[in-house]
Amino acid sequence: MWGGRFAAGPASIMREINASIPFDKRLWKQDIAGSKAHVAMLAKQGIVSQQDADAISAGLDTIAAEYEAHGVPVDLDLEDIHMVTESRLAELIGPAAGRLHTARSRNDQVATDFRLWVRDAIDEVEAGLLGLQRALVARAEDNADAVMPGFTHLQSAQPVTLGHHLMAYYEMVRRDRSRFADARARADECPLGAAALAGTGFPTDRHMTAAALGFAKPTDNSLDSVSDRDFALDYLMAATQASLHLSRLAEEFIIWASQPFGFVKLPDAYSTGSSIMPQKRNPDAAELVRGHAGRIMGCMTALCVTMKGLPLAYSKDMQDDKPPVFEAHDLLGLSIAAMTGMIETVTFRTDRMRGLAESGFATATDLADWLVREGGIPFREAHHITGRAVAAAEAAAVPLDQLPLETLKDIDARIDDRIYAVLTVDASVASRQSHGGTAPAQVRARIADAKKELGS
């Protein structure tokens, strides 16, 4: 395809390092769509005859059907998806195939194909994240009142509800979706027609091809058009952040499934056994979601490093843009699906959660707050008094709400029996009515809004 000035063919190692067809065959649908839009424009502008354009377009349809049925043939000599398709077109329709590449270059062609692919990838991720949010909201609603220990430093801190905890992940996923939506909006410009780097002397209509491919507009600088991979980086950065959230959720499941916690029983469908220890039920799916986040982050780093030193415009380094995006997309899709499945089917042991919430002196802050509110005591002093109450409860091996009133009065005479109304975990969570707080009424209000956001 480009051998006019060469006397010898490439070394076999050159063939191998040069070829991107083993991975860029994934762009075949986008490549054919781009070529069809391009040739329709060439015909309308009188750059190629309508007859040739029709033959090219019909040939491309035939090739699409072949790829659909048998896959894309991997021929390293033909380098990439663009040349594999063009050479097949030549076999099918003869010399007219050679007119397709008028007023374009593989540089704008690949930039266009890849943008189209990333746009579709974002739509897939978007659908997956929506499903994850729906699962989170459904389980949160069932558990809006279920008390569990809330943690800071992974130490029992204050009681919260399981619904509240799950809705925290809903918020993370909401931000993830908005990052993907941003990425999609910024990717919505069509590089096709920028040609190799400088634009073209042919009377093309770039608005026409942009519109035909569903882009908002053509890109505005030909050099930037062929060398910009921000859209791929935007995707990878959004994917990294989403995977990071999935990883945190996975980590919770791993901790919760451990015997000392026992907060969840993982579904059989998302666990594995041990070949040597018959009692084991391992949280492999969650562990792999946690592991995949590292790989996705690695993909993002790989493309950042590839791009950071490149002068304008296209350099072949940029061919390496695709494997990390493909890899990250596959890993992210699996991670979202696995976490959604786990959320939908996990058994929450809410009795166990409640038991732990009651045993960890988690209402100590409520005692201190009561002293401030009812006794007019400065918070620092209330904190100290409460600390002594916790020590007494610990010594007696009882929860705070089972300390006798005399013991509490010995610690501070201003305490009276009204204190017992705030020391239960239910009273504690019910009192946290601040906007976004863990009170079941607040959690339910957020769930109602979330359902509206999700259109369900």
Binding site for ligand ARG (CB under 6 A): 20, 24, 80, 106-107, 110, 314, 316, 318-319
User: CA 235, 236, 242, 246 torsion: positive or negative?
Assistant: positive
Are 418 and 374 contacting, i.e. CB atoms less than 8 angstroms apart?
A: yes
Count Cα neighbours of 51 within 13 Å in the Cβ-side half-sphere.
2
Q: Minimum distance between the CB of residue 13 and ligand ARG, rounded to whole angstroms?
A: 17
Strand-pairing partners, residue 155, are 152
What is the spatial distance between Cα 154 and Cα 338, in angstroms, rounded to a whole number?
Answer: 25
State which H helix or E strand residue 158 sits in. strand 155-161
Give Rg (Cα) of the chain: 31
Nearer to ligand ARG, 120 or 317 (CB): 317
- Tokens 């666990």 sit on residue: 271
User: What is the three-class DSSP state of 148?
Assistant: strand
CB 413 within 8 A of CB 377: no
In the numeric block, which tokens belong to residue 291?
């592991």
274 is catalytic: yes
432 vs 326: CA distance, rounded Å: 45
- Beta 189-190 vs 155-161: how paired, if at all? unpaired
Helical ranges in 203-362 per DSSP H = 206-212, 222-227, 230-257, 284-307, 322-345, 350-359
Separation between Cα atoms, residue 281 and residue 274, nearest integer Å: 7
Amino acid identity for residue 247 in this structure: S
The pair of three-digit structure tokens given for residue 16, joined into one six-digit string: 């191998």
Q: Residue 414: which residues within 8 A CB-CB, separation 6 or more?
A: 371, 375, 377
**Burial (CB count within 10 angstroms: exposed 0-12, middle 13-18, buried 19+), residue 275:** exposed
Tokens 């010594």 locate to 395
CB 281 within 8 A of CB 266: yes
Which among 49, 178, 258, 274 is annotated as catalytic? 274
Backbone CA torsion sign across 92, 98, 99, 105 = positive
20 as an active site residue: the answer is no
**Residues annotated catalytic, as ranges:** 153, 274
